Amino acid sequence: MRIGHGYDIHRTQTGRKMILGGVEIQCGFGLEGHSDADCLSHAIADAILGSMGLPDIGHYFPNDDAGIEGIDSQKIIIQAVKEAAKLGYRVNNVDASLIAERPKIGPYLGAMKKRLSDSLGIDPSCIGIKATTNEEADDIGKGLAIAAHAVVLMIKSS
Residue 94's nearest CA partner among 5, 15, 1, 7 is: 5
- 29 and 14 Cβ atoms separated by less than 8 Å: yes
Number of compact structural domains in the chain: 1
CATH of the domain at 75: 3.30.1330.50
pLDDT at 158: 78
Q: Please report which confidence band the pLDDT of residue 65 belongs to, taking 50, 70 and 90 as the band edges.
A: very high
Domain with 51 in it: 2-156
Per-residue pLDDT tens digits for 84-137:
999 999 999 999 999 999 999 999 999 999 999 999 999 999 999 999 999 999
pLDDT at 119: 98
